[in-house]
Amino acid sequence: MISASDFRNGVTFEMDGNVMQVIEFQHVKPGKGAAFVRTKMRNVISGAVTETTFSPNDKFENAYVERKDMAYSYNDGDLYYFMDLESYDLVPIDKKLLNDNFRFVKENMNCKIMSYKGTVFGVEPPNFVELEITATDPGFKGDTATNVLKPATLETGANIKVPLFINVGDRIKIDTRTGEYLERAKG
């Protein structure tokens, strides 16, 4: 059991049959009246964010969210298969559970599979990936203007904006959380 007075960022707990994660919290002790805890929390399964006020004495069950590394193997229609790195079992995950940032994942990349009581509710790709440019307009000598971007297609089929000096065949580093170009890949 966890009480509302023990809330910290990242704490997960069960409330009304849902698994909630604390995003922000504030312990408030007004001059008059009882103290309370103002909380901004996310439903980890649906992603909905709500703000709620609790009494510091409110108690909730702890919710343990399992985060397991698995390798993306392949997809078959709307099912994406991930291999458990310990047991080598293939786990099918529905396309609806994948975020937009999954477009930067290619086969054999490790992802974090998030589940609660055996039910998978999310897939978290690595924060940074290195991918090859498969299509973009050619860069020309002297194209060094700062902050000028052009469209490019990656080996996964995702489209992003890259600087003018990037060419087809270049490997680049991408932040999957924002979908932005970071730098040319080293080596």
The model's pLDDT over 56-65, given as tens digits with 9 standing for 90+, comes to 899 999 888 8
Instruction: Report domain 66-124's class.
Output: mainly beta
Q: Is 128-184 the same fold as 2-62?
A: no
Residue 118 contacts residue 137 (beta carbons within 8 Å): no
Asked whether the predicted pLDDT for residue 110 surpasses 90, the reply is yes
Report the CATH superfamily, name and number, of domain 128-184: Nucleic acid-binding proteins (2.40.50.140)
Domain ranges of the chain: 2-62, 66-124, 128-184
Spatial neighbors of 76 by CB under 8 A, at least 6 apart, are none
Instruction: Report domain 2-62's class.
Output: mainly beta
Inter-CA distances, 88 with 4, 52, 72, 82, 106, Å: 40, 42, 12, 9, 18
Q: Mean of the pLDDT values across residues 93-103?
A: 85
Task: Give the residue with greater pLDDT, 46 vs 39.
Answer: 39
Asked whether the predicted pLDDT for residue 175 surpasses 80, the reply is yes
Q: Output the pTM of the full model.
A: 0.71
Residue 133 contacts residue 162 (beta carbons within 8 Å): yes
